[in-house]
Amino acid sequence: MKHYKQYINGQFVDSKATSVIEILNPCTEVVISTISTGTVEDADNALEAAQAAQPAWEALPAIQRAAFLHKMADVIRENRVFLAETLSKEQAKVIGLAQVEIDVTADYFDYNAGWARRIEGEIIQSDREKEHIYLHKVPIGVAVGICPWNFPFFVMARKVAASLITGNTCVIKPSSEAPNTIMEFADFIQKINLPAGVLNFVCGAGRTVGNALSKSPITGIISLTGSVGAGQKVISAAAENITKVSLELGGKAPAIVCADANMELALNAIVSSKVIFSGQVCNCAERVYVQDSIYDEFVDKLTKKMSKVTIEDALTGTNADMSSLVSQSQLDKITEMVEFAKKEGAEVLVGGKQPNQFDRGYFYEPTILTNVSQQSEIIQEEVFGPVLPVMKFGTLDEAIALSNDCQFGLTSSIFSENYNNIMHATNSLHFGETYVNREHFEAIQGFHAGWKKSGVGGADGKHGMEEYLHTRVVYAKYY
């Protein structure tokens, strides 16, 4: 069984921690690898390596930094199948989706390399004679990236690519649930001669290693993708040094289906936005509001489609729609939420239990719930699993109000063929992203940003890259 060492200052090194974390294949519950629980010393060593490497890395012309990002994309593509299989095994992502994640990650490095000649400052007219006001975009210094388990490889790239192209150096902490694919990548990048210390990978528990990375005065920005709880802990750790944070946290995406919607399109988009990676995606549809005149027909068709969703072993299956949840704790959480909803009066139209064809693993059937209320837990709290509560609404304003009645503000969607409905909704929904007549999934050139408890700042596109830059203003007087 493989044990992944820490990757610090261009070398794999043992942690002084004596205990390890076992990584399971969720479909088989078999231990497939181990990582160190990590220590504060590991975190400090990685940060010191990144700090030492940063000035020379910043001094490199951006186009030379971009060349390293292209090399990262190349090594990913050279090992795309192995990486996809590694990803599928460590988190039960169906192999087809795992391959998409690997391939999109390679594209992400190439895309961000494209900023090399487009990191732009400004020269502003002064009110004074013989003076120029320069706005320079400069790197922050050392960036820390703390990753989730659900799209670990892509989310790692979201942090690494933007950090490195802008002249920062980086320390990544993978999730303790899914570190393997990231650590295999660390092995591959040894071959691209990246200067030591520019990119470091430190495994270990978030409450120790993640906390040490977040509270260190060396850290210039912390980019966390994960739960609201972890985000709150990172903010309090960052408070010590007023360190910049960029947080991608939980979501509770509403999908609004108007009477004039293309029903087949809405049904397919919502089902795919629910079963992708077994619903363990922050932008997934987490609740559906259907206009009352089409409610019965829509719910009937939605139930039929969800009952046809296929569930198999992520790696050996015939690329089914979904597979096991990532862990026993996720399975327990989702089971508890559905049982509690049933106690509150919810009706289970399909699913609501573990499938009986598996004797191991953390599988849960795709589930539709009705007869739920707006204040119920299943409507207000993130499930992060294949469970979809459905409610009806009268007017579009009512649907918008129901959608906005939420502590989260990450993604949302509306399905309508009426331009005015669409414009009214997209101007009134309080979410960082709104999808119109399509599935819930963002683009790498967009801006994945959470409002409210869904986060601070964002990732992707020009603005995601700029998260890793300071603006330095120079008032240049001359005579």
Ligand X SMILES: O=C(O)[C@@H](O)[C@@H]1OC[C@H](O)[C@H]1O
Interface contacts to ligand NDP, rule CB under 6 A: 146-150, 173, 175-177, 205-207, 210-211, 214, 224-227, 230, 233-234, 248-251, 282, 382, 384, 410, 450
Find which of ligand NDP, ligand X, none residue 317 binds, CB within 5 to 8 Å per kind: none
Instruction: Please state the separation of Cα 443 from the chain's center in Å.
Output: 12
Find which of ligand X, ligand NDP, none residue 312 binds, CB within 5 to 8 Å per kind: none
CB of 326 to ligand NDP, least distance (A): 8
Alpha-carbon dihedral sign for residues 427, 430, 433, 435: negative
Contact (CB, 8 A) for 401 and 429: no
442 contacts ligand X (rule: CB under 6 A): yes
**3-state class (DSSP) for residue 223:** strand
Size of the site for ligand X (CB under 6 A): 13
**3-state class (DSSP) for residue 411:** strand
d(Cα 207, Cα 292) in Å, to the nearest integer? 46
CB of 161 to ligand NDP, least distance (A): 16
Which position among 155, 337, 346, 399 is part of the footprint of ligand X (CB under 6 A)? 155
d(Cα 384, Cα 391) in Å, to the nearest integer? 19
153 contacts ligand X (rule: CB under 6 A): no
**Residue tagged active-site, from 48, 184, 248, 312:** 248
CB of 124 to ligand X, least distance (A): 35
Which residue's CB is nearer to ligand X, number 43 or number 147?
147
177 is catalytic: no
Q: Which residue has the tokens 């391939």?
A: 103
Which residue's CB is nearer to ligand X, number 415 or number 447?
447
Cβ count near 212 (within 10 Å): 24
CB of 283 to ligand NDP, least distance (A): 7
Which residue's CB is nearer to ligand NDP, number 37 or number 416?
37
148 contacts ligand X (rule: CB under 6 A): yes
Binding mask 444-463 for ligand X (x = CB under 6 A): ----x---------------
Kind plus residue range of the DSSP H or E element containing 376: none
Strand partners, 35: 4, 21
Which position among 86, 283, 335, 413 is part of the footprint of ligand X (CB under 6 A)? 283
Query: Token digits for 117?
Result: 């000649």
Find which of ligand X, ligand NDP, none residue 211 binds, CB within 5 to 8 Å per kind: ligand NDP
For 166, phi and psi rounded to 5 degrees?
-90, 0
Q: Which residue has the tokens 């220590």?
A: 39
The DSSP result for 173-210, as a single string, is E--TTS-HHHHHHHHHHGGGTPPTTSEEE--S-IIIII
CB of 252 to ligand NDP, least distance (A): 9
d(Cα 293, Cα 288) in Å, to the nearest integer? 15
Which residue's CB is nearer to ligand NDP, number 266 or number 459?
459
Which residue's CB is nearer to ligand X, number 90 or number 442?
442
Find which of ligand X, ligand NDP, none residue 154 binds, CB within 5 to 8 Å per kind: ligand X
What does each C-alpha distance from 344 to 205, 379, 382, 414, 436 come to in angstroms? Answer: 36, 12, 17, 28, 32
Which residue's CB is nearer to ligand X, number 9 or number 223?
223
d(Cα 153, Cα 149) in Å, to the nearest integer? 9
What does each C-alpha distance from 303 to 171, 308, 393 come to in angstroms? Answer: 45, 9, 19
Find which of ligand NDP, ligand X, none residue 351 binds, CB within 5 to 8 Å per kind: none
Q: Which stretch binds ligand X (CB under 6 A): 51-59, 259-267, 363-371, 440-448?
A: 440-448
CB of 410 to ligand NDP, least distance (A): 6
CB of 152 to ligand NDP, least distance (A): 8
Which residue's CB is nearer to ligand NDP, number 139 or number 279?
279
Alpha-carbon dihedral sign for residues 184, 185, 186, 188: positive
The upper half-sphere exposure of residue 365, i.e. CA atoms within 13 Å in the direction of its Cβ, equals: 20
Which position among 57, 151, 201, 298 is part of the footprint of ligand X (CB under 6 A)? 151
User: In this structure, which amino acid lies at residue 340?
Assistant: F
225 contacts ligand X (rule: CB under 6 A): yes
Catalytic residues: 248
